[in-house]
Amino acid sequence: MPKIRFGAILGMPEENEAHREFAHALGIPLTGSGSASGRRRRRPSRRRQGGDGSHEKKGLSGTLESRGLTEPYIDYKLHDWVFDRQRFWGVPIPMVECEDCGSVAVPEDQLPVKLPEVDQLKDVNDGENPLSGFDEWIAVDCPACKKPARRCVDTMPDWIGSCWGHLRCLDPGYANAIAQPNHLQRWTPANLCVGGIEHAELHLMYVRFVSHFLADIGVTPRQEPYRRLFNQGRIRSQESELGSEEEVSRRGPRVIASEYLDRYGADALRLHLLFMGPPQDHAEWSDEGLKGCARFLQRTHEAIRGRIGQGKFVSRNVLVAKHRLIRRVSRAIRTYRLNKAVSAFMEFVKLLRSDEFSPEEVDKQTLKTFTILLAPFAPHMAHELWDQLGESGELTAEAWPEHSDELLQPTEVELAVFVNDSLVDRMTVELEATKNQVIDQALELSSVRNRTGGRSADRVIHVPDRLLKLVFASAEGETGESKDDVASNEEPFFDPKA
Ligand SMILES: [Zn+2]
């Protein structure tokens, strides 16, 4: 039997001479689904006929099993992995090795096992755990038979904590279990896990294993740790050649965040990272972008401070701008487009710094709302501003602002104004303006008057929200008609937005 080794699970006797001989030798009947020429006839599968396919598989493996040709075997992709580490640090594995009893777990009332307090590590043989030199720590009575036994000297890998740390965060002070049952019930699984694609291979497998294990032994109510996984992109750098040679060749040049932290602060660095683009995309590192964010924070500080104590009321303009900011930032967080939130802050600060908002019309509540929204993005700056605003309450305890949809409905619209076929102007009209009001407003425009001498139009084409076209007949005699009689909503023959 050439080319068939262990692991072959399915032969097609109709397809292959060798398989056919094999089937004959073992008395496996041919089902006749193919011809001798090797061409297989198409037959609708059971799945297509409405079955779920599982009993077909069961039938096939069932037949083979009943003949003693195969036996069921489940093969997991996740094989055993090395868990113990020969390190002097890490979480000790709470097991005791007893000559009579074998491996015995340390009883719960003796947990946690703590590492020995030592000043100096002892020399040990190559490959042995550095802790194996501390006999006093290692010597312990077997929890089962009480005879002298030895502690397991190895420690757990560093990533084990990240497999259940999110559960402990729910209730870090609780002594009797990983967390109180109502917390676990309410908060698990986590809505979102953020990690690079490299986590799909390692962390995700470990955390799911641990999570299933904890659920299986009844410690937690849910098997899956997360509802959703978000893979953020990588930040790459062409200009920076930092990092060891090995690191550079393995992952490309790196950017050392700590150096930028010292120079520009955590807020600027965080803001820059968020502003680089959608978080799922890879991005190129740029020092210039970081400097820009640092400058923006500086301007923000000046703009807010400059307006403290100036505001006397809040104008509709400011209110609309504030609610638009709330909506944009909230939506950016919800949709994970955090770069758009940073853009929204930048536009708002630009308004604050411009003459568009007078000192009187920006009230304190607007500045407070801005600061609350900024807090997750630039917490240090936000807390500083909160303090400057004279607020004594906890900034992070403030409720997240909500926008008013009603306020953000547009009340005005811009129309393109045509005289015959020429675009002569643009004008802003109230959304609720009637057609005649719109026409009157257009006729008042100096750009229109210059061309028409104040005449009434012979014909008017009004496409609400888009354009107004005043048509003047060239012949003098046709100008006497009232605009009201001829005004129409017919489609224009030229669409400026097409
Ligand atoms: Zn024992």
CA of 123 to the centre of ligand 1 (A): 29
Say what the pLDDT of residue 8 is.
52
Coil, helix or strand for 185?
A: helix
CA of 112 to the centre of ligand 1 (A): 20
One fold for both 275-406 and 412-486?
A: no
Say what the pLDDT of residue 22 is.
81
Q: Which of 133, 152, 128, 131 is nearest to 142 (CA)?
A: 152
Say what the pLDDT of residue 1 is.
47
CA of 143 to the centre of ligand 1 (A): 7
Two tokens at 272? 């820059």
CA of 139 to the centre of ligand 1 (A): 13
As a whole number, mean pLDDT of residues 111-135 equals 87
Tell me the pLDDT tens digit for each residue of 224-253.
999 988 888 888 776 555 555 555 555 556
Domain chopping of the chain, boundaries: 160-230, 275-406, 412-486
CA of 147 to the centre of ligand 1 (A): 6
Q: What angle do CA 376, 266, 258 make, to 5 degrees?
A: 140
CA of 140 to the centre of ligand 1 (A): 11
CA of 362 to the centre of ligand 1 (A): 76
Say what the pLDDT of residue 237 is.
75
Two tokens at 115? 């590492």
CA of 103 to the centre of ligand 1 (A): 8
Tell me the pLDDT tens digit for each residue of 454-471.
788 888 998 888 899 999
CA of 152 to the centre of ligand 1 (A): 14
pLDDT at 36 over 60: no
Q: CATH topology for 412-486?
A: Ubiquitin-like (UB roll) (3.10.20)
The interface pTM score, or ipTM, of the predicted complex is: 0.98
CA of 83 to the centre of ligand 1 (A): 23
CA of 99 to the centre of ligand 1 (A): 6
Rounded to whole angstroms, how far apart are CA atoms 428 and 460?
Answer: 18
Q: Name the helix (H) or strand (E) containing 210.
A: helix 203-216
As a whole number, mean pLDDT of residues 313-330 equals 94
CA of 156 to the centre of ligand 1 (A): 23
Q: CATH topology for 275-406?
A: Isoleucyl-tRNA Synthetase; Domain 1 (1.10.730)
Rounded to whole angstroms, how far apart are CA atoms 190 and 207?
Answer: 12
- Give one DSSP letter per residue of 350-381, joined into a string: HHHHSTTS-GGGS-HHHHHHHHHHHTTTSHHH
Residues pairing with 148 in the sheet: 141
The average confidence (pLDDT) of the chain is 83
CA of 107 to the centre of ligand 1 (A): 13
